Amino acid sequence: MPHHTLPIETFLKAGTRAHLAGIGGVSMCALAEVLQGRGLTVHGSDMSDSDTVRHLRSVGIDVAIGHNADNLQDCDLVIRSAAIRDNNPEIAGAIARGIPVYERAEAWGALMREYRHSLCIAGTHGKTTTTSMATYALMDAQRDPTVMIGGTLDLLGKGYRVGQGDVIVAESCEYRNSFLSFFPTVAVVLNVAADHLDFFKDLDDIKHSFRQFAERTPDDGYVVYNLDDEGAVDALAGCQKNLFGFSVKQGRGDCWAENVAFHDGCGEFDAVIRGKVYAHIALHVPGKHNVSNALAVAAAMYLLGVDGGAVGRGLAAFHGAGRRFEYKGEYHGAAVYDDYAHHPDELSALLQAAASVPHRRIICAFQPHTYTRTAALFDRFVEVLKTVEVAIVAEIYAARETNELGISSKDLCAEIPGSVYCSTLDQVTDTLARLAQPGDLILTVGAGDIFRSGEKLLERE
């Protein structure tokens, strides 16, 4: 609920003192540097020390470890991450003192309005990869973008960038309707599926939010959307904004793929816009879904006036974002990869991409993320995990939830023949070590801390 009466723009000026609660988050740390660059005095807090916190301190931003009302000091406003609720001592302290409290998305939305072009990339899945691809294209085109991504990108050395150009590109999350605080001039809708059902009522509720997101574009803006995704098409049916559709099917929509070929699972094709070849794209990330993601980028770049050559060069240089089919190393001749997939559609796309890479067996160590998602999408998770040669299922990662549903990963394993249930990450590591054979492809998958099992496995090599 809002705890302010004035628009946040009132405070986004030199001399204002801003406290950022949860400043170590990938979006919050970027926000801190942007605000500091505008002349605000910025300080913040986070639950633990980290490389990000140390970086912020190195640029003159004071960060306290732990949340305490005293951390507010004499601030004029508080900006909080999406994970911080009203019972946080800093938020409660601010409310008691009458200090206005704003959401992170509100701050980003206000900042977006000052850029000529605001590219906001949304979708139930694929956001991080597609935002990363767009960043590579914009950097090759020397547009000097400001960037906010929900993952680490080698090109940036982190998940964000503060640029001086006229473009901001932002991964735009639907959870708790965060993206409805944004102001896109080009809105991208990659796909729309059931997820975050601890917040949304159902799929129709989700579609309604994506429709609202698209309708935030101005009359001279555009909505780039995936014609191959039923959810996206349904969400935007009847939308009166300027729609720009893309498809992997030749001749469909405004932007499509022609001459598609795959090399070691990675797509190569021509991105054709309104009948003319705009860019030749040779990807170095596997999977058919990444052809679709790349088409979304091509469409958006075209609308931003980026030369097609920069799109081709930028996407050729992209080798994946952190935790997106990320190669981690080798254990006893088995290749170890890590991925953030936590929705069954993402998991299915990942397994299809992995299958296109030479391998003996795929061993998938999956950690479900949140009890509500596991329960709501239970049958679909079972269906997807049955397709893998060896499924190891770690206990559910609680994240922000408590287990009021009484559900466990044991329930999934009971429906998946030959699967292995592991109650701890150490058990996952031990199981991987026991099963790994030369030529295997090992995947650690999930939005929680399952990646640590792969890292511990590689430490044993």
Q: 245 pLDDT exceeds 90? A: yes
Q: Which pLDDT band, with edges at 50, 70 and 90, does 27 fall under?
A: confident
> Could you tell me which residue, 152 or 98, shows the higher pLDDT?
98
Query: pTM score, two decimals?
Result: 0.88
Residue ranges matching CATH 3.40.50.720 in the chain: 8-103
Given this model, what pLDDT does residue 25 score?
85
> Residue 184: is its pLDDT beyond 90?
yes
171 is catalytic: yes
CATH 3.40.1190.10, the chain: domain bounds: 115-317
Residue of 90, 171, 326, 346 with catalytic role:
171
pLDDT at 1 over 70: no
Mean per-residue pLDDT for 203-225? 98
Domain 326-459, second-level architecture? Alpha-Beta Complex (3.90)
pLDDT of residue 295: 98
Answer yes or no: 370 catalytic.
no
Indicate the range of 124-138, 145-159, 161-175, 305-319 predicted with least confidence. 145-159
CATH topology for 115-317 is UDP-N-acetylmuramoyl-L-alanine:D-glutamate ligase (3.40.1190)
127 is catalytic: yes
Residue 72 to residues 24, 92, 155, Cα–Cα distance (Å): 16, 11, 34
User: Residue 40's pLDDT band (boundaries 50, 70, 90)?
Assistant: very high
Residue percentage of the chain with pLDDT more than 90:
90
Residue from 52, 124, 128, 146 carrying the catalytic annotation: 128
Fold that domain 8-103 belongs to in CATH: Rossmann fold (3.40.50)
* Digit-coded pLDDT (tens) for 355-374: 998 899 999 999 999 999 99
Mean pLDDT of 429-437: 98
- The per-residue pLDDT for range 375-394, each reduced to its tens digit, is 999 999 999 999 999 999 99
Question: pLDDT tens-digit profile of 269-286?
Answer: 999 999 999 999 999 999
Specify the domain boundaries for CATH 3.90.190.20 within the chain: 326-459
pLDDT at res. 51: 86
More confident residue, 82 or 291: 291
> What is the reported pLDDT for 2?
66
For residue 159, name the pLDDT band (cuts at 50, 70, 90). Answer: confident
The rounded percent of the chain whose pLDDT value lies above 70 is: 100
- Compute the average pLDDT of residues 326-337: 96
CA nearest to 36, candidates 57, 67, 51, 22: 57
pLDDT, mean over the chain: 95
Catalytic residue among 41, 90, 124, 127: 127
Over 90: is that where the pLDDT of 243 sits?
Answer: yes
Q: Calculate mean pLDDT across residues 302-330.
A: 95
The model's pLDDT over 246-266, given as tens digits with 9 standing for 90+, comes to 999 999 999 999 999 999 899
For residue 157, the model assigns a pLDDT of 84
Of the candidates 407, 428, 400, which has an alpha carbon nearest to the alpha carbon of residue 83?
A: 400
